Structure 1
Amino acid sequence: MNSSPSYININKEWDIVAARQLARDMSKKLGAGTVDQARIATAVSELARNIYLYAIDGKIYIEAIEKMERRGIRIVAEDNGPGIPDISLVMEDGYSTSGGLGAGLPGVKRLMDEFNITSEEGKGTIINTIKWVR
């Protein structure tokens, strides 16, 4: 059932809305409940917003996956921005460089079932998340 990923280029504010809508539509097709649809859409919105604010350019990949009889949605945010010098710092609740609430990446991690981040200064960041359908 693993589908080829759909993706949205993120380089303008409206792309955030498009990525959010694509994630909501795909999670609905997978049979996710309305609460999980909202969680997924919120996580994608945050990831896309981070690309827009900090990296200027990147992509959000969204794909349906199946693993050991479980169905889910994988979201990968990939950018070629400045990278994150201190991942542990950005994963602290309340940390913000944009003056926001600082719910950002820690919030995404809480909304999703699996979360992995890799970043290299000067090269960019890749965030890989999965939400399993209950």
Structure 2
Amino acid sequence: MTKSARLAIAGNADLVMVRQQVRVVAVEAGLSLIDQTKVVTAASELARNALIHAGGGAVDIAIVDDGRRRGLRLSFSDDGPGIPDLDRALTDGYTTAGGLGLGLGGSRRLVDEFDVTSATGKGTTVTVTKWAR
């Protein structure tokens, strides 16, 4: 990793900051404009999920290099209630907050790598990676 940052997600203003910082680091990582837009959209959804469902959390933003390519890795974590049924939560249209139910599944489609771990009562961590092409 050549660059990293940790941002708190505690309110709506933090959602704006997350989007802005992800865009800046995506440019530094060499992502195309289309891939920048995809990863910023995914970041916005995941940050909003942390705020709405867990009351807040944090995101770690890092440029990564696997020896063949550079990319951007985001890891969203919270200490919220967790996701009781992860398979259902990843299904488009499923919502517990009255939204469109596209947050997790939509974010997964926008990135190259997607991993989520969650434990009821212990919180959730979602890690996504978008590689430069």
Q: Give 1:121 deviation, angstroms.
A: 0.7
Corresponding residue for residue 109 of structure 1? 108
State the TM-score, normalizing by the size of structure 2: 0.97
The root-mean-square deviation of aligned C-alpha atoms, in Å, is 0.9
Counterpart code for 1:48: A
Question: Which residue does 2:74 correspond to in 1?
Answer: 75
Unaligned runs of 5+ in 2: none
> How far did 1:61 drift?
0.8
Q: CA deviation at 1:30?
A: 1.6
Structure 1 residue ranges without an equivalent (≥5): none
Q: How many residue pairs were aligned?
A: 133
Distance across 2 between alignment mates of 1:95 and 1:57:
21
1:100 has 2:88 as partner = no
Question: Which residue does 1:24 correspond to in 2?
Answer: 23
Cα distance in 2 for residues equivalent to 1:3 and 1:12: 28
- Tell me which amino acid in the other structure corresponds to 1:22: Q
TM-score by length of 1: 0.96
Per-residue CA shift, 1:109-133, capped at 9, x if unaligned?
Answer: 0000000000011110001110000
Deviations 1:60-100 (A, max 9, x none): 11100000321000000000000000100100011111111
